[in-house]
Amino acid sequence: MFSLHRNKPARHRDNMERSFRDLLSSTEDLLRSTAAHTSEEVDGARARLKRQLAHARERAHDWEEVALARTGQAARAADDYVHANVWKSVGAVAVVGIVIGCLAASACLGKRY
């Protein structure tokens, strides 16, 4: 169950990236297809669309940089926590191992008698 929730942000990010790329591609196709039209109104609309497209690309790049920075911060925080609390982690794993070992041993002993 945990793995389903863990992958949800990645799926959401992938869907957003795909949608954004599709939008950029469609916009570029629209600009190419209207290149032959030369009325002032169409030229003005194309110029505005080009500016908005360039701005959207810049924003997407900024979002990517922020996401990478936050991911790096989270990874460093997790690494720092594990290094600072290594004995707690080792102790917890040892306790779990002992409990599993005791359960397995009692199950084996119970079958003999």
Provide the pLDDT for residue 3.
47
Provide the pLDDT for residue 17.
78
Provide the pLDDT for residue 24.
79
- pLDDT tens digit string along 45-85? 778 888 888 888 888 888 888 888 999 999 999 888 878 88
- The dihedrals phi and psi of 37, each to the nearest 5 degrees, come to -80, 130
CA distances (Å), origin 12, targets 7, 20, 64: 9, 12, 14
- pLDDT tens digit string along 5-55? 556 667 777 777 777 788 878 888 777 777 777 788 777 777 888 888 888
pTM recorded for the entire structure: 0.44
pLDDT over threshold 60, residue 89: yes
